[in-house]
Structure formats: C-alpha cells, structure tokens
C-alpha cells in the first residue's frame, strides 16, 4: 500500500428528535421558529467573539500517529502466503501556545517545550505535525454561524442531546449548493442555556486537502472516512476556548474493513488569560 502523502489544514476565518427543520420553510412552524431563534442567538455569540480582544497562553499537547501497511509474500513448495503488516510512528509535541487578537490583528506564537519526551526550548516554533495543520481554532464558530456566514449556509436542527452535562441543540450548517468556493461546513453543538458553541464536527468534504485524500483513496481502492472535531471546554467572560481538537483519518476497504492511516489529537490546558474583552466590556470599561 502506498503511504498517504495528503496534507490537511484547517484555517478558521473571520430524547432525540427525528424531525428536521430547515432554515427556509414553505410555511411557519414551531420548529422553524426555534431554528431561527437559535441562529439569531448564535450570531450574537459570534458577534461577541468576533469583536473580542483576546490575549492568552496555554499548553498545547499534540499527539500524531501515522500508520503504514506493507505486504510480505512467502513462497514455498506448497505455494505462496501473503500477509499484511501495519507499522505506526507516534510523535508527541508540547508547546506553550500564545494567541493575541485585537481588531483585525491576530497572532499565534508557539514555544516548543517538549518533543517525544525530551525537554526543549524552541521559540517561534512551527507546528511539526506531518499530516495536519491548524490555525485560529478559537474563532471556529464564526465561519459557520456569524451573521455574515449564515447567508452562505443552509441549516437544520438534527437533534437535542446532552454534551458534557449541558443540554444542547445539534444543528447542521452546509454551504449552499450555488456557492462553489471552499469553506467549512459541519455540525454544531449549541448550549441551550446561553447559545455558546461547545463542539463542532466538520464535514470531511469541506476540509482543505480533501481532494488529495480522494485521489489516494481511489489508488488504494478504498473510501475515505475523516472525522474532524473541535471541543470548546473552557470559558472566560462568556467566550469559550478550545479544549480538544482531533482528526481521525480512516479508510474503509470492501465496505467494511477499516484502516486508520493517521490520528492527530490536540489537547489544550493550563490557560492563563491576560485579556478577554468583548466589545461590550471594552465600552463599559469593566473587563
């Protein structure tokens, strides 16, 4: 099997119910009204996030596993035996991650402090992951639910469920078919108490580099199955911050056999907040 050479990136721009409600309905309904109310509140949350001045540091631990398969054929008097072997390379990186944002000025910086268990101190360090790059994850909800991006997406309510103890509404945001430019789509877990975003699962077709994944899958005679998730488990001044980010890159053979080509898990912890100011807080001077 050929080793996957595709490269992914995510750049973030500025009781279950079986009934589904779309953003535009032919006639008003309680479900339609609920969806419109949720989208309005989510847009307000994204507005606060978009207008926030942010300055924080945290620990960012990245674990990347990349697997490859090879076949060994043993020949003998009775014929030949073919066996497939899987080998996995695991890398672990720990960064001091810093984000500064004010207005249109946004900067990410990293200090590599540990690599595969060895202490380091590499300032202005790049991400060393081979398969997956990520950027500006804290702003993830804006690209799906801000007032501006809502005009480019179709929405529907999928279900209600609890996530980490909070009651949520799960909605789907899909780029309208008439828009051919590249932009993320996905499912969003919205907390019912304040309409903040707890989790996002992006659709695999909207991930940058997915075209190369399809090409590789075709060569392998398999179907790609990517799972890209972001969880926002930390909260400060009404703004939620990432706690986990992950990409599972699987391929399915013959409709049932699954092989995991790579897995990237990013954990955020030990936050230190220097500035988390919404536009409202700045005007009142109470941040």
**Is there a contact between 154 and 39 (Cβ–Cβ < 8 Å)?**
no
CA 13 distance to own-chain centroid: 13
How far apart are alpha carbons 187 and 248 in whole angstroms? 16
Q: Smallest Cα–Cα separation from 140: which of 231, 226, 236, 44?
A: 231
> Under DSSP, is residue 19 helix (H, G, I), strand (E, B) or coil?
coil
The model's confidence at residue 280, banded by pLDDT at 50, 70 and 90, is very low
> Under DSSP, is residue 235 helix (H, G, I), strand (E, B) or coil?
strand
Phi then psi for 96, rounded to 5 degrees? -85, 115
Query: pLDDT at position 84, please?
Result: 57
**H or E, element range at 211:** helix 210-220
* Residue found by looking up tokens 């309680």 in the block: 30
Query: pLDDT at position 82, please?
Result: 47
Q: What percent of the chain has pLDDT over 90?
A: 60
**H or E, element range at 46:** helix 30-50
How far apart are alpha carbons 256 and 251 in whole angstroms? 10
How far apart are alpha carbons 134 and 12 in whole angstroms? 8
Query: pLDDT at position 239, please?
Result: 95
Query: pLDDT at position 178, please?
Result: 84
**H or E, element range at 67:** strand 53-76
223-270 confidence digits (pLDDT tens): 999 999 999 999 999 999 999 999 999 999 877 788 888 999 999 999
188-212 confidence digits (pLDDT tens): 999 999 999 999 999 988 887 788 8
Query: pLDDT at position 29, please?
Result: 56
Query: pLDDT at position 77, please?
Result: 54
Q: Smallest Cα–Cα separation from 244: which of 140, 107, 105, 126?
A: 140
142-181 confidence digits (pLDDT tens): 999 999 999 999 999 999 999 999 999 999 999 998 877 7
Q: Smallest Cα–Cα separation from 166: which of 190, 132, 133, 134?
A: 190
The rounded radius of gyration (Å) of the Cα atoms in the chain is 22
Query: pLDDT at position 215, please?
Result: 85
CA 134 distance to own-chain centroid: 9
* Residue found by looking up tokens 């190369």 in the block: 212
Check whether 42 has a pLDDT greater than 80: yes
**15 contact partners, CB below 8 Å, separation of at least 6:** 160
Query: pLDDT at position 184, please?
Result: 83
43-97 confidence digits (pLDDT tens): 999 999 999 999 999 999 999 999 876 654 445 455 544 455 578 999 999 999 9
| pTM score, whole prediction | 0.81
């Amino acid at each position: 099997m050929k080793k996957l050479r595709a490269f992914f990136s995510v750049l973030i721009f500025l009781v279950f119910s079986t009934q589904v409600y779309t953003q535009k309905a032919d006639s008003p309904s309680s479900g339609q009204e609920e969806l419109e109310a949720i989208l309005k509140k989510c847009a307000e949350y994204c507005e606060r996030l978009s207008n926030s001045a942010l300055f924080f540091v945290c620990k960012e631990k990245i674990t990347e596993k990349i697997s490859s398969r090879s076949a060994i054929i043993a020949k003998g008097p009775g014929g030949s035996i073919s066996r497939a072997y899987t080998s996995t390379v695991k890398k672990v990186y720990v960064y001091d991650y810093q984000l500064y944002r004010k207005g249109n000025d946004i900067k990410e910086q990293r200090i590599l402090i540990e690599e595969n268990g060895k202490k380091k101190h590499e300032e202005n360090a790049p991400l060393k992951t081979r398969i997956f790059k990520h950027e500006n994850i804290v702003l993830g909800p804006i690209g799906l639910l801000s007032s501006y991006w809502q005009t480019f997406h179709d929405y529907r309510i999928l279900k209600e469920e609890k996530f980490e103890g909070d009651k949520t509404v799960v909605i789907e945001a899909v780029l309208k078919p008439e828009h051919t430019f590249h932009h993320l789509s996905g499912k969003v877990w919205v907390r019912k108490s304040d309409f903040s975003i707890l989790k996002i699962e992006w659709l695999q077709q909207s991930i940058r580099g997915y075209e190369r994944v399809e090409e590789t899958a075709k060569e392998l005679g398999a179907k790609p199955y990517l799972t890209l998730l972001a969880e926002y488990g930390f909260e400060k001044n009404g703004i939620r911050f990432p706690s986990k980010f992950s990409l599972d890159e699987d391929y399915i053979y013959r409709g049932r056999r699954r092989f995991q080509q790579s897995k990237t898990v990013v954990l955020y912890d030990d936050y230190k907040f220097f500035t988390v100011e919404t536009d409202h807080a700045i005007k009142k001077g109470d941040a």
